[in-house]
Amino acid sequence: VIDSSCSFTGWSAGALSVSVNGSLTVKNTKSYAAVSGTQRSGGFIGDMSGLKQPAVISFEDCVSDAIYTEKSKYCGGFIGHVYKNTNMTIIISNSINKGNVIGEYAGGFFGVVWNNTNISLTILDSVNDGAVTSYDYSVGGFVGSIDSNTDSTITLSNTTNNGGVGWSSSVGGFAGIISSNSEMVMAISNYINNAGVRGDENVGGFAGRIYINRDMNITISNSTNNGIITGNKDCAGGLLGLINVD
């Protein structure tokens, strides 16, 4: 347990580690710490960037109930910033985010996953209970943004978003934006959004905006939106706010 008496502050901040440079397994761990970073803040890890060797990052039976004391760019309940890695596997299972996350590119589990090559991201049997808020851009119950990745696989199974998401453009119960990816396979099954999702535009119970992706295959099955979806300007949908094909 990382208890509430602990606090972590910096340009990048994480209660478990500021950054990771190899494989990591985290089990049965809870964080209640205060985290304050101007960029790349996470309830467990602030930043995972530039790994070239194969790496496996796994969280099992973990709870993040971190307190975010500053609005951060790239802020996630588990990991803030996943950038420019090659041959990486990330698995989160039987885990919960309870912390209220606030920032630009903010998510209940990940702030942003972008510009990676050959990355596999799997979230199983996990729940976001924390409110996720951005007053700027791209916010999701699980991931703020999935952007500019090559040869990637995203798997989401038996997951639920209970945390309210909102107050920016591109807002989703799972992800705010999924954009500019190539050769991506995304499989979503037994996903439920129970929370209100609200934003200016591009608002959805699953994803706010999906656009400019190449060779992308998305399958959504046995999934439900029970939340109220509100777009103050335009493009709001029960599962998807807006899909652009360029």
pTM of the model: 0.96
Render 176-201 in DSSP notation, one character per residue: EEEES-EEEEEEEEEEEE-S-EEEEE
The answer to whether residues 62 and 99 touch, using CB atoms and an 8 Å cutoff, is: no
DSSP state letter for 137:
E
- State residue 37's pLDDT score: 86
- State residue 171's pLDDT score: 97
- State residue 239's pLDDT score: 93
- Cα–Cα dist 236/232, whole Å: 9
- State residue 36's pLDDT score: 87
Burial of 152 (0-12, 13-18, 19+ CB in 10 A): buried
Q: CA 108, 114, 115: angle at the middle one, nearest 5?
A: 165
Burial of 6 (0-12, 13-18, 19+ CB in 10 A): middle
Output b/e per residue, 190-212; b: 16+ Cβ within 10 A: ebbbbbbbbbbbbbbbbbbbbeb
- Walk along the chain (246 residues) and give the pLDDT tens digit of each residue: 899 999 998 999 999 999 999 999 999 999 999 998 888 999 999 999 999 999 999 999 999 999 886 678 999 999 999 999 999 999 999 999 999 999 899 999 999 999 999 999 999 999 999 999 987 889 999 999 999 999 999 999 999 999 999 988 999 999 999 999 999 999 999 999 999 999 999 999 999 999 999 999 999 999 999 999 999 888 999 999 999 865
What is the rounded end-to-end Cα distance, in angstroms, of the chain? 47
- State residue 45's pLDDT score: 97
Torsion-angle region of 235 (φ positive above 0: left; ψ -120 to 50: alpha; else: beta): left
